[in-house]
């Protein structure tokens, strides 16, 4: 993938990354200049039939792809092995994995999009899909998805990849969130252990449990990964408490304001409860990220990515239970990295051929056995001991299939929402007054919405 000047695109991305802030603003405003018509654009979307795939591949297709800098050791090597396996398995499509310079991956995507130099395939963190789709950087891919593959995918994977009634992204794995506990400690404390989402502890019950664990000798019985509260973890980890209480990060009936949803009494109550645990000293500061493994906290509010390390620390003494019920039932998070087809990709059918390969049971297993994530297909799930029927991580499947999991707000405003909400979480966890912190977040979100004319629909 080379520009008309002969300069490699990945080199130009490095240069353009320095201008990311300005480019991002230009990119977002480009689709909405002069479109503040006062209409409510938030009604039920009208699905279109996309034409990304027509069932034909002309000649030998040569594709380029990007892959984000992974957090799990070896993920990129796994993708490289997948590309090699695919290229040697057939002759119709040849894929080249491009190396990107070190830096902010999302910034690199925005910069390349502004230059029209995205590859034929790229991955992105799921909540960013909505802004990419709105800006016209990626193409819908529903026309590429066979019914048999659609039926095999977890419903959460399809929901996460959908924006305004069309499918824009697909992941080969999903995520899970819950409470890791040490059953031996809870049995000693005489505390019941929930059997599933419908049996979750109430927030009030959980507060009492923390008191019992302290009496048992655990001064800081709860790990909230509080050291990351002002990052994306704050949104992924603590939005479920707001949702469980009946609040939200934005009014999803219109997607035009956060007022009344994020700073309403439900959200205030949920975050006040979380803050009360911190103020009572129940929450470990966890500066070494070892609160659970080192035995200081027998409860950890976190995701699937800790399962391997936690079970290595306490073999046979780790269980996963649903998050506390803050009033309207337990709710959990979902969504992880997904694949999408950039708008300028030459051959959607060729790209789909490779994506279909990545979604095959063996390739889904290759990746999820490495990174510990939840396989995206039921066929791959059935092959695992961890997530299959009776497996120790089966709760994650129950949550993703049973409507307990909820996607982060499906709006192009998500980057602004998560910045504002996670910043508020960081302040609240440090003792700031809850309602004023949420009011400030609402003002920031509503400003972004107004600045972009409430993100009216773009494209045909």
83-138 pLDDT tens trace = 999 999 999 999 999 988 888 998 999 999 999 999 999 999 999 999 999 999 99
Q: Which residue has the higher pLDDT, 302 or 18?
A: 302
Q: How much is the pLDDT for 71?
A: 66
Burial of 51 (0-12, 13-18, 19+ CB in 10 A): exposed
pLDDT at 69: 78
Each residue's pLDDT tens digit, 139-184: 999 999 999 999 999 999 999 999 999 999 999 999 999 999 999 9
- Please report which confidence band the pLDDT of residue 50 belongs to, taking 50, 70 and 90 as the band edges: confident
Percent of the chain clearing pLDDT 90 (strictly above): 84
Indicate the pairing of strand 405-406 with strand 332-333. parallel
Which of 14-23, 401-410, 431-440 bottoms out in mean pLDDT, i.e. has the lowest?
A: 14-23
Q: Is the pLDDT of residue 37 over 70?
A: no
pLDDT above 90 for 207: yes
What pLDDT, in 10s, does the model give residues 317-365? 999 999 999 999 999 999 999 999 999 887 999 999 999 999 999 999 9
Q: Is the predicted pLDDT of residue 241 greater than 90, yes or no? A: yes
| Residue-level pLDDT at 1 | 36
Report pTM.
0.88
- Helix (H) or strand (E) holding 229, with range, is none
Q: What is the per-residue pLDDT across 255-288, written as a single tens digit (0 to 9) for each?
A: 999 999 999 999 999 999 999 999 999 999 999 9
For residues 22 and 437, which has the higher predicted lDDT (pLDDT)? 437
Lowest mean pLDDT among 195-204, 308-317, 451-460: 451-460
Whether 71 contacts 125, CB under 8 Å: no
pLDDT at position 42: 37
Residue 37 burial by CB count (10 A; 0-12/13-18/19+): exposed, middle or buried?
exposed
Residue 51: what pLDDT? 83
If you average pLDDT over residues 179-203, what whole number do you get? 97
pLDDT of 458: 74
Least confident interval from 23-37, 83-97, 276-290, 387-401: 23-37
- Which domains does the chain possess? 57-171+337-372 (3.40.190.10), 177-332+411-451 (3.40.190.10)
pLDDT for the residue numbered 380: 97
């Amino acid at each position: 993938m080379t520009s008309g000047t002969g300069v490699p695109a990945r080199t130009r991305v490095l240069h353009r990354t320095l201008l990311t802030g300005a480019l991002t603003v230009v990119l977002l405003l480009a689709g909405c200049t002069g479109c503040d018509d006062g209409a409510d654009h938030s009604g039920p979307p009208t699905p279109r039939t996309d034409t990304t795939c027509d069932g034909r591949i002309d000649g030998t297709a040569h594709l380029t792809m990007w892959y984000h800098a992974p957090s799990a050791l070896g993920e990129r090597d796994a993708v490289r092995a997948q590309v090699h396996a695919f290229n040697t398995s057939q002759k119709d499509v040849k894929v080249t994995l491009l190396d990107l310079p070190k830096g902010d991956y999302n910034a690199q995507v925005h910069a390349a999009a502004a230059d029209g130099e995205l590859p034929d395939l790229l991955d992105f963190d799921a909540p960013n899909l909505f802004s990419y789709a709105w800006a016209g950087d990626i193409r819908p891919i529903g026309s590429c998805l066979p019914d048999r593959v659609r039926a095999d995918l977890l419903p959460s994977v399809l929901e996460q990849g959908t924006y305004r009634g069309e499918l824009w992204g697909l992941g080969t794995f999903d995520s899970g969130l819950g409470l890791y506990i040490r059953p031996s400690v809870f049995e000693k404390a005489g505390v019941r252990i929930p059997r599933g989402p419908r049996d979750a502890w109430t927030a009030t019950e959980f507060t009492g449990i923390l008191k019992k664990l302290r009496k048992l000798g655990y001064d800081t019985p709860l790990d909230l990964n509080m050291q990351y509260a002002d990052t994306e973890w704050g949104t992924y980890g603590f939005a479920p408490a707001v949702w469980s209480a009946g609040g939200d990060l934005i009014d999803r009936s219109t997607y035009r304001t956060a007022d009344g949803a994020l700073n309403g009494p439900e959200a205030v109550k949920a975050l006040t409860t979380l803050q009360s645990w911190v103020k009572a000293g129940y929450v470990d500061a966890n500066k070494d990220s070892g609160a659970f493994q080192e035995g200081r906290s027998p409860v950890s509010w976190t995701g699937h990515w800790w399962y391997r390390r936690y079970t290595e620390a306490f073999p046979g003494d780790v269980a996963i239970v649903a998050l506390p019920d803050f009033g309207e039932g337990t709710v959990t998070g979902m969504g992880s990295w997904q694949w999408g087809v950039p708008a300028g990709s030459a051959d959607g059918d060729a790209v789909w051929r490779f994506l279909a390969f990545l979604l095959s049971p063996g390739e889904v297993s290759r990746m999820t056995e490495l990174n510990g994530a939840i396989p995206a297909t039921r066929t791959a799930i059935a092959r695992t001991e961890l997530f299959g029927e009776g497996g120790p991580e089966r709760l994650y499947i129950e949550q993703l299939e049973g409507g307990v999991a909820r996607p982060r707000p499906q709006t192009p405003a998500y980057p602004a929402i998560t910045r504002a909400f996670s910043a508020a979480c960081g302040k609240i966890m440090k003792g700031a007054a809850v309602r004023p912190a949420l009011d400030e977040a609402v003002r920031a979100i509503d400003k972004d919405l107004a600045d972009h004319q409430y993100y009216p629909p773009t494209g045909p």
